[in-house]
Structure 1
Amino acid sequence: MTFAEKFKEERVKKELTQQQVADSLGITRKMITLYEKGTSLPRTREAYKKIADFFGVDVNYLLTEDENFVVQASEKYGARGKKQAQDLVDGISGLFAGGTLSEQDKDAVMKALQDIYWDSKARNVEKYTPKKYKLHLDED
């Protein structure tokens, strides 16, 4: 079940309108519509936490593993990292469409690819970050 499906299910279960949820969360009704259509996702883990608290559910319930991966990439590497992570998830999901892999095997492949993503990002930061910034990063 996707974030969009879970979000809408919780809203309907509580018999709330999109506007009521938007007002309570401090966002626009249009954003609620985008969430429920699956067109947009919250940008940070804190935003997921706020939604989870509002609905009275665990934040991990709202996040699929793929969505969690995209949020982490966004928080760590910004919009570019988010796009790269989403492209990876979308590309791999397309490869799985109509395939014969079991769900467990699909999860294992996705996990392996996510690990490769994180490793390559870490290597790129090490390789391409100028020394003057590395020294500053080490102090933090």
Structure 2
Amino acid sequence: MTFSEKLMDLRRKSGLSQEQLADRLGVTRQSVSKWESGTAMPELVKLISLSDIFGVSVDYLVKDYLEEPESAGGGDDLSAQQAVRLEKKVDELTNYVKGRVYRFDSKTRIFGLPLVSIRFGFVRNGKLSMDNVARGIIAIGNAAIGVVAIGIVGVGLFTFGVVGLGLLSLGIVAAGLGAFGVMALGYLALGVSAVGVYAGGVAAIAAKIAAAVSAVAPTAIGEHASGSHVLLWGDGLTAPEVRAFLLEHHPDLWQPLLDLFSSLGAHIK
């Protein structure tokens, strides 16, 4: 039998309603209903409480192949072998409840942080605890925080992920001093949709300069552009033409930005 079947059988044999069992456990009746329908699994402490209430072992509750109830036993009667088994089961259940996540932290540490930290895998019920977040100089995981962060969600100086937040950020959604992604937000933002002080892409909004198919900024370069100073794509633009336009309105523009936006303006389409 499965856990849900065993729970329902034990509750009925004990003459308890779902509401009565919920009251003894300090949970809602809906929680007990979900356990018995197999759509949810109780937390470790609740499994131990169920073991005590029904006088069966935690092993019996969670192992489908155990059909005969095993006594939960008393503290003085618990053998060393049973204690080892129980400790192992607690570890297994903890991993199950928290989610199956691969964890690794290198022994080498810098400023108290692991050089490499990895947290990767399945998280139960979509709930992500800080214990499942990779935190290190180099962090890799579902969620990662580090100097270099690689993950579905990354936070750090240099981030690479679906969602990235950092000094230099690369992702589908990216935010940072330099942001590069499908959606980018930053001091320098490059993406399909980009918003920043300086922005480039398909659609860009900037506080100073924007170069995009559709550009909105005080200085705007694009096929469709709006701003105080506008350079339209027309029949095409060359890098020297864009450079001359930028220098006219921003004579002190930092050389790398001048080179970048000269190139962007010449390759909008």
Letter in 1 for 2:15: E
Q: TM-score, normalised by structure 2?
A: 0.29
The residue number in structure 1 matching 2:94 is 72
> 4+ residue runs of structure 1 moved beyond 3 angstroms?
none
Alpha-carbon offset, residue 64 of structure 1: 2.1
The residue number in structure 1 matching 2:11 is 11
2: CA distance, partners of 1:130 / 1:3 = 42
1:58 aligns with 2:38: no
Q: Any conservation in 2 of the 1:19–1:29 contact (CA below 8 Å)?
A: yes
| Change in 2 beyond 3 A, CA 1:70/1:59 | closer
2: CA distance, partners of 1:130 / 1:30 = 46
Trace 1:96-115 onto structure 2 (pairs within 5 A).
none
Alpha-carbon offset, residue 71 of structure 1: 2.6
* Structure 2, gaps ≥5 residues long: 65-88, 115-269
2: CA distance, partners of 1:59 / 1:4 = 13
Q: State the structure with bigger RCO (CA 8 A, min sep 6), 1 or 2.
A: 1
Q: Which of the two has greater helix per residue?
A: 1
1:47 aligns with 2:51: no
Q: Which of the two has greater strand per residue?
A: 2
Alpha-carbon offset, residue 72 of structure 1: 2.9
Q: Any conservation in 1 of the 2:35–2:41 contact (CA below 8 Å)?
A: yes
1:30 is paired with a residue whose SS is helix
Q: How many pairs were matched up?
A: 89
Q: Any conservation in 2 of the 1:43–1:74 contact (CA below 8 Å)?
A: no
Q: Any conservation in 1 of the 2:25–2:46 contact (CA below 8 Å)?
A: no
State the superposition RMSD in angstroms. 2.9
* Larger displacement relative to structure 2 (28-37 or 55-64): 55-64
Letter in 2 for 1:23: D
1: CA distance, partners of 2:113 / 2:46 = 30
Identity %: 33
Q: Any conservation in 2 of the 1:22–1:32 contact (CA below 8 Å)?
A: yes
The residue number in structure 2 matching 1:126 is 106
The residue number in structure 2 matching 1:35 is 35
Q: Deviations over 1:30-49 (max 9, x none)?
A: 000000001111122x2211
Q: Deviations over 1:102-135 (max 9, x none)?
A: xxxxxxxxxxxxxxxxxxx35x3338x854145x
2: CA distance, partners of 1:59 / 1:49 = 6
